[in-house]
Structure 1
């Protein structure tokens, strides 16, 4: 794809998300979602490879179905109440349909099957866009209509997503699929707390976006597509390898790092609201996720795969990726835990 077309597609992508996030009318929100979907399809299929074509088709079908369900739910609501306002979703069939549609948009369990496949068939840059920017519009719609959505359904989907995200990532060898299951697990944490404390959901989203973006930037820098590729990262940049280790531990939510903040706050909120069993289940599912983060950490920093002498000369290749964003995101996702009292006021 030419740089001009790529710029137009990215601009349309950003415009669609911003239109959805700033609209209070269901039709405008739906138009923003459609703009967003139609502009990312060419970006996914730029590789001209059967895998990318398959990924683009899967993405289009799921997102089109979810958008149609959103439009259908808003029409039912307008028919029964006479209002197209996003915050006035009072019809029961409407909010059930909307919850399922937004779950499909985000990739929550039980409608998560498309996400790992689409991310595996995309490039690293496209996978970064799908796991970060593409989550903003559906989560903003959840935030706007949270007073009318079912708490039980959202918490059930959140719990299942955190468990399936941890369980599904255990058996993967591809870094993109691992990041996809990581995304499902993190979105499960956000959805669980969304109906109780939406502010914590927004904080969790911000930290998730920053940490995931930093991790993807390091994977792109090292061109690590499988777990075996990560064993040779040290030849390119030993310091960045150590930084990637800390990033992965932050994604897992280990205490001295920023990723611990949202998990701590969510577990605290669940226990204060007497959702003790939900908090226990979330904590156990976090251990599942932590296992595959630790496995990636181990292969990145502590092991060396069987290889030929030539692979050790990877240091000869100069990285051609701008590192400013990677460094700023990495620093934030490692050392922002002391800012927690400021963020929770």
Structure 2
């Protein structure tokens, strides 16, 4: 991508649009940043060697355009009714819910997730990674300005975790599994926004690292579906173990790294007397862990196949060692972090 000047230009304006949105002091400035971000991301999605990217980019454009129109309409309506065009705070509950809905549609949170798995299925792994991580930063930051813990936000949190958990049960495409996992993690990111900026930063950085590790392995070994990960002739057993242990870490299974941000959010919600909400969140996240564990058992025990003639060639590749290092970070970081904390 760096060798292509056009893509480098669009990547730069993509990041610039996000920075404009999160640093704007009015909703109009935030909307401009979101539009720059959108118009920069569309050319990056299109890949001439993959015909599915055209359909995915069209779906993404239409959905984001609908969300942008709703956002602009809500901001203008708020300015006309309350005469506060330069304020980032919207006090009316209905206007606030409508504004939050447009931002939730932009990042694909439930129940506005209808476009997200379909778009993910048609993208390359790098573009999918950008869609699941960077493209969520600006809507989440804008959402944090007006989001409070009420019936609407609780419903969004519960639906995101529920749909993200149940949606991945019957999927065989790894892109769709990661898409529903992203919807599930949005259900944890939204309460992290309300509890504090540090919690949100820790959760988002951890989620981005784990997702990036999985996508790095899937792209390196050209894996797109589960049957390829089960018995693919060019995947060494250690890479298969690395992939599924990182998936378990992404699901939040102790003692892996992915459990750390969930642990912090559960502790903060319990301290804020939100016992019912945190119980629902934890219970429904166990569904995600169920199908991750089911996949891991099937791949490592039931559907095990190993070829010996290409293992030495694979082990000489630098991505092999990088995958093992990333897996060790994702699996061993939580015990090491806890040990350092107790020693201090």
**Shorter-chain TM band:** 0.7 to 0.9
**2:40 paired with 1:43:** no
Distance in 2 (alpha carbons) for counterparts of 1:180 and 1:321: 28
Q: Which residue of 2 aligns with 1:145?
A: 146
**Does the C-alpha gap of structure 1 residues 317 and 250 become closer, same or farther in structure 2, counting only changes over 3 Å?**
closer
Bigger mean CA offset, 55-64 vs 185-194: 185-194
Q: Which residue of 2 aligns with 1:24?
A: 25
Q: Which residue of 1 aligns with 2:62?
A: 61
Unaligned runs of 5+ in 1: none
Contact 1:237 1:315 in 2 (8 A): no
Deviation (angstroms), 1:188: 0.9
Distance in 1 (alpha carbons) for counterparts of 2:316 and 2:231: 14
**2:11 paired with 1:14:** no
Distance in 2 (alpha carbons) for counterparts of 1:300 and 1:317: 19
Distance in 2 (alpha carbons) for counterparts of 1:28 and 1:22: 9
Distance in 2 (alpha carbons) for counterparts of 1:319 and 1:71: 54
**Does the C-alpha gap of structure 1 residues 12 and 332 become closer, same or farther in structure 2, counting only changes over 3 Å?**
farther
Deviation (angstroms), 1:255: 1.5
Contact 1:158 1:189 in 2 (8 A): yes
Distance in 1 (alpha carbons) for counterparts of 2:105 and 2:325: 32
Deviation (angstroms), 1:316: 4.5
Q: What secondary structure, in the 3-state scheme, does the structure 1 residue paired with 2:73 have?
A: helix
**2:210 paired with 1:211:** yes
**2:143 paired with 1:159:** no
Structure 1 length as normaliser, TM-score? Answer: 0.87
Q: Which residue of 1 aligns with 2:330?
A: 333
**2:114 paired with 1:117:** no
Distance in 2 (alpha carbons) for counterparts of 1:127 and 1:47: 16
Q: Which residue of 2 aligns with 1:4?
A: 5
Distance in 2 (alpha carbons) for counterparts of 1:326 and 1:82: 55
**Does the C-alpha gap of structure 1 residues 318 and 284 become closer, same or farther in structure 2, counting only changes over 3 Å?**
same
Contact 2:251 2:288 in 1 (8 A): yes
Contact 2:242 2:323 in 1 (8 A): no
Distance in 2 (alpha carbons) for counterparts of 1:31 and 1:312: 55
Contact 2:314 2:320 in 1 (8 A): no
Contact 2:234 2:314 in 1 (8 A): no
Q: Which residue of 2 aligns with 1:272?
A: 271
Q: Per-residue displacement from partner, 1:183-213 (whole Å, max 9, x unpaired)?
A: 0000011224433445423322221111111
Number of residues paired by the alignment?
338
**Does the C-alpha gap of structure 1 residues 6 and 330 become closer, same or farther in structure 2, counting only changes over 3 Å?**
farther
Q: What secondary structure, in the 3-state scheme, does the structure 2 residue paired with 1:24 have?
A: coil
Structure 2 length as normaliser, TM-score? Answer: 0.87
Q: Which residue of 2 aligns with 1:284?
A: 283
Q: What secondary structure, in the 3-state scheme, does the structure 2 residue paired with 1:254 have?
A: coil
Distance in 1 (alpha carbons) for counterparts of 2:324 and 2:277: 36
Deviation (angstroms), 1:108: 1.1
Contact 1:175 1:226 in 2 (8 A): yes
1:116-265 equivalences in 2 (<5 Å) = 116-146=117-147, 149=148, 151-232=150-231, 235-265=234-264
1:88-99 equivalences in 2 (<5 Å) = 88-99=89-100
Unaligned runs of 5+ in 2: none
Bigger mean CA offset, 186-195 vs 172-181: 186-195
**Superposition RMSD in Å:** 2.9
Contact 2:242 2:324 in 1 (8 A): no
